[in-house]
Amino acid sequence: MATVLIAAPEYLTVLKARPELGDAIAFADADVLQALEAITSLRPAVVVLEKQFADTSRGAALINRIKADPSLRPCDIQIVLHGGHAIEHVPTAPEPAVQEPPTLAPIDYRGTRRAERFAIKPGVEVQIEGSAAQLVNMSAVGAQVLSSSIVKPNQRVRLALSAQPGAARITSLVAWASFELPRGVARYRAGIEFLPPLDLAAVNKFIKKHKA
């Protein structure tokens, strides 16, 4: 399962060099919203915070937000020094005796409305600026993809639901992106936000056909 790493930019290279963090999805400490979007989407097994960031108000707010989300209860939050030495495991909130609807701080990245997200069958591809990208999950407002081509946060892209002529094309924005190197193969994992005008009928039909 995925690991998400958050640290100041000057510490990311050192931390990513550690074997246990080599495949981590890394975010600079200034990109907390993008990191939270990735965490709520991927539900990683481990979230690693460098101590200087964890000690800030933003770091504390992120920890509290993760602990408040029942879907993230299995997530192991680790605090590490910038050299990589783990110094603390943050306990998750205990399971309440009586389940009540959780009160969570709203996630609103650039005004994106939340929508039900569906896992997509393996091997389904979309086209981003004419290059194939593997589709991980999708909702009526966006998608998560794996791309061998470079994508960057805040980049406007054209996403086509297939390579076939006449396929629906969606003007989109890269909400967050991270570089990965699994088994030596470079790729980018990215969250894509759909922008209007949007053919919701085509999107919902595509999800219904390809959801896992």
Instruction: Domain ranges for the chain, please list them.
Output: 3-90, 114-210
Angstrom distance (rounded) from CA 128 to CA 125: 10
pLDDT tens digits for range 73-118: 889 999 998 876 766 777 655 544 444 444 444 443 333 345 788 9
CATH 3.40.50.2300 fits 3-90, yes or no: yes
pTM value is: 0.51
In which band, very low, low, confident or very high, does the pLDDT at 133 lie, cut at 50, 70 and 90?
A: very high
Topology match between the domains 3-90 and 114-210: no
- Write the CA distances from 30 to 8, 50, 56, 121, integer angstroms: 8, 13, 12, 33
In which band, very low, low, confident or very high, does the pLDDT at 129 lie, cut at 50, 70 and 90?
A: very high
Angstrom distance (rounded) from CA 42 to CA 75: 11
The pLDDT value recorded for residue 92 is 59
- When the pLDDT of each residue in the chain is averaged and rounded to a whole number, the result is 83
The pLDDT value recorded for residue 4 is 92
In which band, very low, low, confident or very high, does the pLDDT at 210 lie, cut at 50, 70 and 90?
A: very high
In this structure, CATH architecture of domain 114-210: Beta Barrel (2.40)
